[in-house]
Structure 1
Amino acid sequence: MGAAERGHLMPGGHPMAVRRTGLIRARKAAGFTQESFAEVMHVDRSTVARWETGVREPLPYQRPKLARLLKLTMDELDELLHAERSNVAPTQPVSPSPSALPAPRVVHAGLLTQYETLTDTYRQIDYQAGSGAVYQEAVAQLNRLLDMADNVPSPLYQRFALALGDAAQLAAWLAIDHQDYGAARRYASLALSSAQEGEDPGLHAYVLGIMSYIHLHAGRGPDAVRLLLAALHLATNPRFAVSAAVHSWLSEAIGEAYALSGDHQAGARALAEAERLFDRVNPTEVPTWLAFYNGTEHIMRLKGRCLVRLGDGPAAVTALEEAAEALPAHYVRERSGTLIDLATAQLMSARGDEPRSAEPEAAAAAASEAWELAVQTGSGRNQRRVRELLPRFEPYRRLAAVRPLLEMAP
């Protein structure tokens, strides 16, 4: 069965799917909008939309209620979900690939553990080799999990949904690094609905944070603040016992968002709260999908980035130099981003009337290393960030350390 027939996601997040017009007609005939149907099904509206566009199928435990609401028998529902497949002809032969393997007939706990481990392996490869080395494999992993959905037994549904959410949020981060923000939104939406289905408020809040970074990268601070406040509302609810690491990470992100929105006082307060919360983080209780946020170097890296947004160059330099020194050598993408922030902070600290000051030369060295790492890891986002920084080096072009940078990263 080809990718078009399974509704697979492709790298870039574009669904190869068949619109389920019969399902749409049945919903409308029953008097539901997508929003009202999502409400009674206890899912997000985007989940209903994915059912109707053929990107996803309702999980087995959802189908009896779905059929009842639409006044259908289970056989009639199954026909609506799959009737259009016979009309699909792949435009080209589909060669075997990891995502085209048949779904396992029986999904047991041990097999699910292997898929969870595989997602974490892709995460570690991303840390060490960059998103370019693993993006396609991570999307294939997501497709494999989607294929398994119909074969997951009831006792494993919740765990399966969280495994799917973890794979989807990883794909969202990889898409962000590739500057494919449309795909990132689609993967994040899938992660969000999976977190809801898996009843994990921590993952739900974290995915809202991922979505906020799409706004941050586009310069939409108020939109990022709105999402992050919703995420914090979840993270701070004592009923949910969300990890302090999630709360701290969100507070750092909202500090950036407030700074970008021009509210530096609120940004500084959020950053202080992030540091206070980080002191309470127990590394053994950090969720797997937030495993990078379990060492002082990471809070310093994110603190420095937030301080850059807040315009405090000297304090940002101090934090980012500490982070760059402490970051493990194999965290190449994080090091590249940290060095870009450090170069930015050093240029903020450079005085225009002292063109021979140490700051521009140190900034050039940091930006040069960042560029090399960005090329090595295939990070389009970090390459773009270095290029955007180059005009700020123009006043220092005659310095020996600056000229090679301007030639290296045209």
Structure 2
Amino acid sequence: MAARRRLITRRRDLGLSQEDIAASLGVERSTVGRWDSGETAPALWLRPRLAKLLEITRTELGDMIAEADDDRPAATGWPDLAENDDMALYRRDLLRMISLAGALLALPAVEDDLADTDEVAGYVRLNSHLWQTFALTSAKATMRAVVCEQLRMLTASLSQRHGPATRRRLCALAGDLFQLAGEIHFDASDYTAAAHCYTLAAEASEKAAAFDQWACALTRHAFISVYERKFTDAAPMLEAAAGLARRGDSQLSTRYWVAVVQAETFAGQGKLADCQRALGRAEGVLELHGPMHNGGWLRFDGSRLAEERGTCYATLGRLDLAEAALTDALRQDLSTRRRASVLTDLATIGAQRRDPDQVLVHAAPVLAQARATKSGVITSKLRGLQPQLAPLLANKQIARLNSDINGLVGASAAR
């Protein structure tokens, strides 16, 4: 690793030691040492202050930081923590951060706003980039490290004194990113950590008076109960989310996404008429024009209506209606997780019809995807199929499928 020679020279020319820099920025001396050696780079929120200490512009500091990057090998993707990290340690660190962030959200704003607008804009860009990467990658767990680092930066920034406008922006950014952290944990079937993240996302969004974002955080939290088939637990939270969405931006699709999740809740409770009414409300998204979502905490654009309708009808036992909707959904360009969900629902319909061939045709590619991506969401969908397989276990191929799902569930629990 090449040292950052210009950064070191500039510090020494000003008569500053590593200890001086560390004391001024509130970091460890060893951290400054790693910046000098090129092992790590200063966090985004520290760079404006570091540039002032070194009496240079931020652009000049950026060039000095980039010096060590010239000798680095090309990046191959985010570090894969799914296999290599100590999950117990990581989880404790996350919960400490959640606790700290929750306390910092209660701090009052100050009268004078001396915030660095470039710093806040940097957080906005990186949050957006992280959501885009999350949507594109099939192995969601690989993003834990970079999201956790960004959360540390935002949490540290929340500890600083800010005026009302900047404080609201930082709270909104924290609410945004804690939703993403929750999504990563939800995909890994770590529902407790996901719930903690969604709770803090809702609290931060409330502080920011960001009604749509707040509604989405509550909807994600409620979906944990929907996923665990605790439909009565989800209903009050979804009702609250619907109320918040009505106070939000009418040009966004928030209220329609809430309606879709409410439809799933009604289907789980066996309420066909209520489910159909909720689905009808959700179709209002098709009348929106222009930017209806932000591609981050809100991504609903109506393209999922067919698969959502199919899932609801499958839950209600209306197999013909469900199969027609799900088959229509398969004709669309679906993400890995969405396609796996649709195929699993079609396999469930096959099991309910006692048709082993239909089960195997649809379940086999889902099993392959679960193995390839290690997605807890896909594994959980397959686990939900298993009770439907019981009457078909005399079939050797169905029995092997059931055994393979058990192996996936065991591997997921061990991670």
- Taking structure 1 as the reference length, the TM-score comes to 0.68
Aligned residue among 263, 278, 287 for 1:270 = 278
Q: 1:182 to 1:403 in 2, by over 3 A?
A: closer
What secondary structure, in the 3-state scheme, does the structure 1 residue paired with 2:238 have?
helix
Deviation, 1:146, is: 0.9
Q: What is the match of residue 193 of structure 1?
A: 203
Q: CA deviation at 1:203?
A: 0.9
Q: For the structure 1 residues 129 and 61, does the alpha-carbon distance in structure 2 shift closer, same or farther, using more than 3 Å as the test?
A: same
Once the two structures are superposed, residues 186-214 of structure 1 have per-residue CA deviations (whole angstroms, 9 ceiling, x without a partner) of 11111111111111111111111111112
Q: What's the counterpart of residue 148 of structure 2?
A: 139
Distance 2:183 2:290 in 1: 22
Task: Spell out, residue by residue over 1:293-337, the C-alpha distance to the aligned partner (whole angstroms, 9 max, x if none).
Answer: 2252x2222222222222222222222222222124xx2222222
Write out per-residue CA displacement over residues 138-158 of structure 1, whole angstroms, 9 at most, x where no aligned residue.
233222211122347434322
Taking structure 1 as reference, are residues 54 and 408 closer, same or farther at Cα in structure 2, changes over 3 Å only?
closer
**How many Å separate the matches in 2 of 1:394 and 1:223?**
28
Segments of 5+ residues of structure 2 without an aligned counterpart are 1-26, 29-88, 407-415
- The answer to whether the 8 A contact 1:360-1:396 is kept is yes
* Structure 2 residue 219 is the aligned partner of structure 1 residue 209: yes
**Aligned equivalents of 2:161, 2:305: Cα separation in 1:** 38
Pick which of 193-202 and 363-372 moved more. 363-372
Q: Distance in 2 between matches of 1:249 and 1:134?
A: 25
Structure 2 counterparts to residues 199-348 of structure 1, below 5 A: 199-237=209-247, 240-275=248-283, 277-296=284-303, 298-328=304-334, 331-348=335-352
What CA deviation, in whole Å up to 9, does each residue of 1:79-131 have, x standing for no partner?
Answer: xxxxxxxxxxxxxxxxxxxxxxxxxxx96333333333323333233333232
State the shift of 1:169 in Å: 0.8
- 1:148-184 deviations in whole A, cap 9, x for unaligned? 2234743432222211111011111221222222211
Local SS of the residue matching 1:344: helix
CA RMSD of aligned residues (A): 3.0
SS in 2 for 1:279: helix
- 2:78 is the counterpart of 1:15: no
Structure 1: which 5+ runs fail to align?
3-8, 18-49, 66-105, 353-358
Asked if 1:62 is matched to 2:108, the reply is yes
Amino acid at match of 1:253: V
TM-score by length of 2: 0.67
Between the aligned partners of 2:348 and 2:156, the Cα distance in structure 1 is 45
1:89-128 equivalences in 2 (<5 Å): 108-127=116-135, 128=137
| 1:171 is the counterpart of 2:181 | yes
- Aligned with 1:219: secondary structure? coil
Shift of 1:263: 2.3
CA deviations on 1:189-243 (whole Å, 9 max, x unpaired) are: 1111111111111111111111111211232211211111111122224xx3344
The answer as to whether partners of 2:105 and 2:204 remain within 8 angstroms in 1 is no
Deviates more, 1:383-392 or 1:226-235: 383-392
SS at match of 1:62: coil
Indicate if the aligned counterparts of 1:60 and 1:150 stay in contact, CA closer than 8 A.
no
> What one-letter code is carried by the residue in structure 1 that aligns with 2:207?
E
Q: Which of 121, 129, 144 is the matching residue for 2:138?
A: 129
Instruction: Mark the CA change 1:257 to 1:60 in structure 2 (over 3 Å): closer, same or farther.
Output: closer
Aligned partner letter, 1:284: P
Structure 1's consecutive aligned runs of 4 or more residues displaced over 6 angstroms after TM superposition are 398-401
Cα drift, residue 250 of structure 1? 0.6
Match of 1:390 among 386, 390, 393: 386
Quick one: distance in 2 between partners of 1:342 and 1:116? 40
Count of matched residue pairs: 316
Question: What is the CA–CA distance in structure 2 between the aligned matches of 1:16 and 1:234, rounded to whole Å?
Answer: 29
Secondary structure of 1:285's aligned partner: coil
Mapped pair 1:158 → 2:168: yes
CA contact (8 A) 1:13 1:187 kept: no
Q: Per-residue deviation at 1:390?
A: 3.2
User: Equivalents in 1 of 2:347, 2:288: separation in Å?
Assistant: 29
Which has the higher relative contact order, 1 or 2, with Cα contacts under 8 A spaced 6 or more apart? Answer: 1
Q: 1:366 to 1:152 in 2, by over 3 A?
A: farther
Classify the secondary structure of the residue corresponding to 2:95: coil
Tell me the amino acid that sits aligned with residue 367 of structure 1: A
SS in structure 1 of the partner of residue 156 of structure 2: helix
